[in-house]
Structure 1
């Protein structure tokens, strides 16, 4: 689905404040498999699949482009755009083609990724996916409690213009109406409480920061604090997947979903799609992902050190 690019309304907020697939491993497919089922369409959107190899640092994406065929686009590794917990990739064929940004992470075979194009000609494309290797291995519930915490870093990409550091030089003399954009990112922290005794969970994204373009003034970026996102309590299915609503206060702002992977669910991966969630910006949209180690487990992230499991 091609969605509207929200490039003009951002200024009010600023003022106020090569094809082919080299992999033999199967891709992370938004259609899912008999074990996990499909990723919700609102999260997958334009993305069909991605194949990420953390050993070689390579990424192939199918979908999130103008192509109508099943060819995969090989993204290039872009360390300068990395954020805590996630590695960045980008793609742009030439200076007048749309630019795409991706963030991915894989922890022992449980993975998630987002891919979003910068706005051009009033539209953009995007989507998210997550998956795991092997079947569902739930956390073992003890006699005391089945309550577990997952905490770590979050990254999102929006339909807003971000900094232009990865764009190819725009040709002199070409009309500005042809200029492609680079998607603005959101970073933050994310926290989940999961009760495996009754298979429920809830959580929140907090300390959210949006990096916006300010090309008219400085050619750099403007960082703005934005509202926290709460995940409405939902249930974990028998295959270790979940889906629920995302809110600000009591207002529904989107959908989240995810999956547990690894031995005794040592990792959680997931994605969220948000819309009309940035109060100062009309028609804002955001795809975000997380890949988190279980606090107290072998993959626990740094924020877990303050958590008593």
Structure 2
């Protein structure tokens, strides 16, 4: 049976150096606002072009990542619905059996205003490469704030969360899509497929005081069913362009990483962003997770069931 390496031993791979601030661009139409992605979220990603397509099985993604992935530098990944995580389309790239194996997870909001993606490989030769991006079509349009109305400008967002990790998978299991390794190949040459994470995410945003915070919960490694701790998204500031960047903690208030994103649509109907976690499981070492979220504002069509418990 397939097993996740770090459940039996420490994760042996580490991320390469962070990229400078990058911008992401889209081929989905005019008016796209490209946000400066913080270096600790972009990490190795230089550019992503995501088109969700018009069918559940469709979509395309092109990624330029500072790594040993493919030639040309901007690679067109292969759509692979077998790797989808709830709410997110999956794509993969591996040029040959001894090259790194990458998985990308991406989504666009229901109104088409924002999109985000994350990508990573499972590790090879003691290193792995990963990162994420987010973007918006059009200008930032905050919800109206009326100081005379209690709760005005306070809104919630909820939905699914997905991620890839450097917790590489052992070969040969039911979710393994790496290319077959020739018999007799030395194990030190073998690339790993990144494990995928699924979960739920909830955000509260107050546009009167320009702040956002929330939680990622029900986190589980899709490939094994292994449960992971919740992640707290510590309160961060929403800037004048509708973007935000903050830190994450575990429930014991120990820092675990960073998150960031961008609001889009009419009255900030949607939000998209990415997460980068480090050392998030106490029994593991050097583990990292690169997550993505694309959420609808509570009270709008298609919002998550948990939205029934919050004020409209």
TM-score of the superposed pair, with normalisation by structure 1: 0.84
Residue number in structure 2 paired with 1:167: 178
- Which of residues 94, 100, 103 in structure 2 aligns to 1:101? 103
| Aligned 8 A contact 2:69 2:100 in 1 | no
Shift of 1:305: 3.9
| Aligned 8 A contact 2:68 2:100 in 1 | no
Residue number in structure 1 paired with 2:150: 144
Provide the secondary structure at the position in 2 that maps to 1:105.
strand
| Aligned 8 A contact 2:246 2:259 in 1 | yes
Aligned counterparts, 1:164-243, within 5 A: 165-211=176-222, 221-243=223-245
| Aligned 8 A contact 2:32 2:136 in 1 | no
- Which of residues 264, 269, 272 in structure 2 aligns to 1:266? 269
Residue number in structure 2 paired with 1:286: 289
| Aligned 8 A contact 1:28 1:130 in 2 | no
Q: List runs of 5+ in structure 1 lacking aligned partners.
A: 1-6, 14-25, 212-220
Q: Output the CA distance in 2 between the equivalents of 1:259 and 1:197.
A: 17
Q: Output the CA distance in 2 between the equivalents of 1:295 and 1:54.
A: 23
> What is the alpha-carbon root mean square deviation over aligned residues?
2.4
Aligned counterparts, 1:68-83, within 5 A: 71-83=73-85
Question: After alignment, is 40-49 or 161-170 more displaced?
Answer: 161-170
Provide the secondary structure at the position in 2 that maps to 1:265.
coil
| 1:3-29 residue CA offsets vs partner (Å, 9 max, x unmatched) | xxxx8543148xxxxxxxxxxxx8259
- CA separation of 1:70/1:240 partners in 2, compared to 1, >3 Å: closer, same or farther? farther
- Structure 1 residue runs of 4 or more that deviate by more than 4 Å after TM superposition: 33-37, 67-70
Residue number in structure 2 paired with 1:84: 86
Shift of 1:65: 2.9
Residue number in structure 1 paired with 2:14: none
Residue number in structure 1 paired with 2:280: 277
- CA separation of 1:12/1:223 partners in 2, compared to 1, >3 Å: closer, same or farther? farther
TM-score of the superposed pair, with normalisation by structure 2: 0.83
Residue number in structure 2 paired with 1:51: 49
Q: Output the CA distance in 1 between the equivalents of 2:75 and 2:266.
A: 32
Provide the secondary structure at the position in 2 that maps to 1:188.
strand
Q: Output the CA distance in 1 between the equivalents of 2:182 and 2:72.
A: 31
**How many residue pairs align between the two structures?**
280
User: Residue 127 in 1 paired to residue 152 in 2?
Assistant: no
Residue number in structure 2 paired with 1:216: none
Q: List runs of 5+ in structure 2 lacking aligned partners.
A: 11-23
